[in-house]
Amino acid sequence: MCGICGELSFDRSRAVSADDVRAMRDQLVHRGPDAHGVFVSPDGVAGIGFRRLRIIDLTPSADQPMPNEDASIQLVFNGEIYNYKPLRERLLAAGHRFRSHSDTEVLVHLYEEKGDEFLDEVEGMFALALWDAPRRRLLLARDRAGKKPLFFYRDDHRLAFASEMKAFFAHPDIHLDVNEAILPSYFIYGYMPGPDTSYRGVSQVDPGTVVTISADGAVARRQYWRLQYPDAAQQSTRVTDRRAAVAQVRSLVTQAVERRLLSDVPLGAFLSGGVDSTIVVGIMAGLMREPVKTFSIGFEGDPAYDETEYARQVAEKFHTSHTEFRVTPSAIGLLDTLLWHHDGPFGDSSAIPTYLVSQMTRQHVTVVLTGDGGDEAFAGYRRFHAALVAERMPSWSGPLLSALLSPLPASPNERHWLSRTRRFARYMNLPLLERLTRWNSFFYEDLDRLLAPSFAASQPAVDRLGPLRDDLEELAQLSPLSQLLLANFRTYLPGDLLVKTDRMTMAHSLEARAPFLDREVLEYAATLPDAWKLTSGGQTKVILREAFADLIPDRINRRGKMGFGVPLDRWFRGELRAYVRETLLASDARCRTYLDRTELETIIRRHESGEANLGQQLWCLLSFERWLCLLPEWRRRARGGTIPEPLLHVRRS
């Protein structure tokens, strides 16, 4: 796992500076503390930089930039290629010469062999940049699901790219301004839907896509992979043998885990006590000779946000070498650090425990396997079942249910059944994808009240289904569950979940691997009948549970999904109450340019009084305000600033 960056100059009078590439590169030291390198082409057209986290082939021969035999091709690569060994053997047989045993070098020679289609048979997670000197062009590419990030900035003189946008702050000729057009989307989703970003002029390379940029500035894009589901009419005829399907799910997931055990450094697993991480750890225990190293985290004094008891049960079943962290974090002490690693505002507060467990896990291992993707592939979210239930209910039932619930007191937190039921009743009569979006949103119909009138008037009308707009025709051909799964895969997964996992693990130079996001697993799961994934009674991940029934303890199998979270509702009514007011309602608060103060006061009052649980919304707003405050400082310290360590009280057990 590594950090990559570089620049391509379109202006012959402006040669790429090695010093500028180094400055960008060294903003990414957390992604690669073990080695570094820079290449600038002799004509000054292209420069690429690299920070290395050594995982496979720990020798200097595997350092990057990685050339081919005559150095006409130069590659920087972030990630892992899980099928690199058979590819390497084939390339050796074809006459290619290798200087290392790394997966990176396989990509260089595979490009020589297959040209633009070199990624079609590559299995892994990656972001890469390849300079082809004979053809005077730069290739940028990302893996299929979008596990590894890759951003690029373009103006009239250059294109710059990097694993994280903070690298651009270090370039003397790049000035990043707030992308005001994307801000309403942030308040809806809690993240910036790709390919747009927080900054004007900066875009993401789409998952499963190769972008080719010529030295004259011409750009071409090729999507080499796209997850597809069978249309509703075909789905029931695609896979009909249930017993064979169960066996195939077990085989594919097991192979996916086995592929991800390849490492020359210590390896372990995050263990939450849920079904997905239990399966991953159970498979690892059967494949590894030594006990699996597992890691869990819980919050002191708040059982509603603590899964360590369940994780401990799984650890005992598989005799893992288990480390449990129990923390009392200063959430606000962490906020600025989380924003720095996300390069901007990020509304998902589960980044807090992900950061903390990554920080402490890195003291023991360099690579972890996670359960990410199990919910996406096999329908594990409760909201999927709720959406399907709502499809079957008459239109009058929503208002009736809301009326029945209205006399009841406010629920203690957003995870309480009453909060979930109220959300369900409020939006259940909406069209399917709009319903899903509203259930997941931070602000939706109240967005118009949140935005300052002057700012709202300066922006185009907000398209609340914007991230799905180009997919609506395709989605309309699918069953309701397939629509939900595919919409989730193309929006929430790459925009939120994978961003959080990548930034929070790489903040501590920890590599995370997700077996459930293996291409073969994803493609096969997409073909399975809906009822084999989610029953009408609400049992999630049915075929996955059946395939690994021997690995999942009954208590784990019976419990509902909890998910990673923190007790924001309680924090913002208690010890952080004053901080919320002082930050959001200050006379010099920078968010006042964009947000309506009266609405902010209303949100804070409703939360403090217990009228509503708006902790997630307040976290989203605090993240936005702190980002605006920190942005000038980020620019100033881009050439070597440091991030203060968060204040933690940690007890290991």
Active-site residue set: 2
With beta carbons less than 8 A apart as the criterion, state whether 238 and 250 touch: no
Fill in the DSSP letter of residue 14.
Answer: S
β-strands 511-513, 124-132 pairing: unpaired
With beta carbons less than 8 A apart as the criterion, state whether 650 and 325 touch: yes
Q: How far is CA 449 from the centre of its chain?
A: 29
DSSP-assigned letters across all residues of 60-111? GGG-SSEE-TTSSEEEEEEEEETTHHHHHHHHHHTT---S-S-HHHHHHHHH
Q: What is the 3-state secondary structure (H, E, C) of 486-535?
A: HHHHHCHHHHHHHHHHHHHHHCCCCEEECHHHCHHHHHHHHHCCHHHCCC
Q: Which amino acid belongs to residue 16?
A: V
Q: How far is CA 459 from the centre of its chain?
A: 28
With beta carbons less than 8 A apart as the criterion, state whether 120 and 194 touch: no
Q: How far is CA 177 from the centre of its chain?
A: 24
Backbone dihedral region for residue 5 (phi beyond 0: left; psi -120 to 50: alpha; all else: beta): beta
With beta carbons less than 8 A apart as the criterion, state whether 481 and 432 touch: no
566-604 exposure pattern, b = at least 16 Cβ within 10 A, e = fewer: bbbbbbbbeebeeebbebbeeeebbbbebbbeebbebbb
Residue 611 host element (H or E): none
Q: How far is CA 353 from the centre of its chain?
A: 15
Residues 6 or more apart whose CB falls under 8 angstroms from that of 55 comprise 1, 80, 263, 264, 265, 366, 367, 511
With beta carbons less than 8 A apart as the criterion, state whether 37 and 2 touch: no
Name the percent of the chain in helix, strand, coil, to the closest 5.
45, 15, 40
With beta carbons less than 8 A apart as the criterion, state whether 388 and 534 touch: yes
- Give, to the nearest 10 degrees, the angle between helix 331-342 and helix 615-636: 60
